[in-house]
Chain A
């Protein structure tokens, strides 16, 4: 089994956004949008006792990814290596998954009008290359590998060095993007950017809660009505109708 994961060492990361730019160039993400972003936390504390940190955000390829069921057409799915993939041929850009993502990692690409997000550079992985954000990182702060491989760097960082991930007791969907760093900085980053509850947009909620039962109900009732009529017809026989 393969379970890919990304670890960012926040002690090294300088928030230079090379990852974002490299990713944008690699995947032709329109200017102003990105599959991976650098977010700087507000500076906390009182001058001069301050702390601040950096979040390197991207799709977390969650074990229990809420975006997968949110996609009406199964354009989003999790592949055998743990990567959450988007099949652009099936995506219609309804945006349900965008709201379902606890990490705001998805967006609608205005050029292709379909959802866009990090796929751990799957096509590069297939060619034997590392993700574009990893190879470009000037600080060499990003590490990519297989959590099921006990000899991998990421295994060590996650299981021996105790890398953190963005989850809370309420929202624990098994993200596979981890952060290493000074405790207080990692804590601040985790506290500043907690996962948001996965949810559906209003249209989706109405669909699930109201439209789906109503339509099923109405179709079933109609069908049953007709079935009743049919049995009635059988009972009284065709003759009578023919008069």
Chain B
């Protein structure tokens, strides 16, 4: 094959094509990433609940009293509340450190980060159209996206920026590092950074769990795969990458030995060409 039959930009699909693609699945997430995601979700749930309940001063409290009483009812005395918050927080930090330490070479490379958080021109375009689209103000087609769409990237970017701050301020408070004034500021910064992430989380949860178009993305965090149609329509750049990789892999395979290539992602290279 001299030139690839894989399209360079999304083309309209026929109903049959779409149906066929919907049946085929592409692997999107490693099991470790999925576990990490749900572990993280759990941590956030617990830490938000205990953390919000810990802030009980009338000056700073952000949740209603009934919530405080509810959480205290769940955890017992306030000392348990703090202990739980610190324990979960420490586990969280340890897991993330382990992730950085053992998975760093795989997941924290420049290429991966570029895919995950670097926004390009298409991404900005996407963001604009997406927001307007949701509000029913735009019918423009969304620009093609990589493995993560601009919204996901933006969220990841924010999380990457906020996590170290949240963790560090948490550690400062837990171990009274750098003196009393530092702890005082840490409380404030912890609160603000968590607030920022919570805003992101609201969007993230909505887009992931409620917004119909992104439902396959939500399930991908459970199954690890998305159907090819979703990949094609929402993450075209990534779809193309996968297809190109497959093609190269297949080509090498064919030229080296005469063997039947195993199906990948439930697809067959011959079926790659659409349109």
Contact = CB atoms under 8 A, between A and B. Distances in A.
> Are A and B in contact, CB atoms below 8 Å, in the complex?
yes
Contact of A201 (B135, B175, B181, B195): B181
Nearest to A236: B136
B191 A93 contact: no
Interface stretch (B39-47, B115-123, B208-216): B208-216
Contact of B191 (A70, A215, A222): A215
Interface string A210-243: 0110111011011101101110110010100110
A96 B56 CA distance: 14
B181 A95 contact: yes
A51 interface: no
A228 B135 CA distance: 8
Tell me if A's interface is mostly helix, strand, loop or mixed: helix
A215 B62 contact: yes
B211 A229 contact: yes
Interface stretch (B27-35, B157-165, B182-190): B182-190
A89 B83 CA distance: 8
A92 interface: yes
Nearest to A96: B184
Given A89-B83, A98-B180, A211-B192, A226 B202 contact: yes
Q: How large is the interface on B (under 10, 10 to 19, 20 to 34, 35 or more residues)?
A: 35 or more
A77 to B, nearest CB: 9
Contact of B188 (A74, A206, A230): A206
B54 A229 contact: no
A200 interface: yes
A203 B78 contact: no
A62 B135 CA distance: 55
B170 to A, nearest CB: 10
Contact of B180 (A69, A95, A225): A95
Interface of B: 54-60, 62, 78-79, 81-83, 134-136, 173-176, 180-181, 183-188, 191-192, 195-196, 198-199, 202-203, 206, 210-213
Given A114-B176, A241-B211, 11 more contacts: A70-B59, A72-B55, A72-B57, A90-B79, A113-B175, A200-B59, A207-B60, A219-B195, A219-B199, A219-B202, A236-B136
Interface of A: 69-75, 87, 89-90, 92-96, 98, 108, 113-114, 200-201, 203-204, 206-208, 211-212, 214-216, 218-219, 221-223, 225-226, 228-230, 232-233, 236, 238, 241-242
